[in-house]
Amino acid sequence: MTAAFATLADLQERHPQEVILLGADETTGLLDEVRVARALEDASIETRTILAARYSAAELDRVDDDGLAILKIYVMDIALYRVALSFSRLTDEIRERYQVAIKRLEAIAAGKGALTLVGEQPAGGDAGAETSNGGAAIVAAEPFFPRRGGGLW
């Protein structure tokens, strides 16, 4: 199985109060770490599924640090939504953050944004990075009969 884009530690660092409030077990009042970790895994799967419209699994495994940072934010918002739903603690703010995350992921998948990938250097591009736009790159040789002056040949 592919690793989650965000971990429980990431979620606790970014949203410490929300994790405790939303993820507390109904009977013990303690954080249900297993349930929250599963929500993070499910959110990562949902993210990969949305982005599969544009990126292959291999490409998603090569997303650079900046791309991973934004995916982590989206995954955490999706996971908090899932946790809140599973504990019947959904708020309008959490629903809104979830909807924004989904819309942004769908926009990236539709080509209205891009994730930078680490790996092979594209022809004429930056060393060590490339972007995937779902299209083909065409590299053409110099014309055989270059134009001279104002005439045809």
20-68 residue pLDDT tens = 999 998 889 899 999 999 999 999 999 999 999 999 999 999 999 999 9
DSSP 11-45: HHHHSHHHHHHHHB-TTT-SB-HHHHHHHHHHHHH
Query: Radius of gyration over alpha carbons of the chain, in Å?
Result: 22
Q: Does any domain span residue 108?
A: yes
Type of residue found at 78: I
In tens, the pLDDT along 10-32 reads: 999 999 999 999 999 888 989 99
**Structural domain of 65:** 8-131
Q: Bigger pLDDT: 135 or 93?
A: 93
Secondary structure class of 111 (helix, strand, coil): coil
Decide if 119 contacts 130 (C-beta within 8 A).
yes
Instruction: Give residue 82's Cα distance to chain centre.
Output: 17
pLDDT at 140: 37
Decide if 61 contacts 92 (C-beta within 8 A).
no
Q: Does any domain span residue 139?
A: no
Domains: count for the chain: 1
Secondary structure class of 141 (helix, strand, coil): coil
Q: Does any domain span residue 104?
A: yes
pLDDT at 150: 52
d(CA 65, CA 146): 43
Q: Does any domain span residue 120?
A: yes
d(CA 31, CA 28): 8
Q: Does any domain span residue 55?
A: yes
Q: Does any domain span residue 2?
A: no
Q: Does any domain span residue 33?
A: yes
Q: Does any domain span residue 136?
A: no
- Model confidence at 2, in pLDDT bands (50, 70, 90)? confident
In tens, the pLDDT along 116-138 reads: 999 744 444 444 444 444 443 33
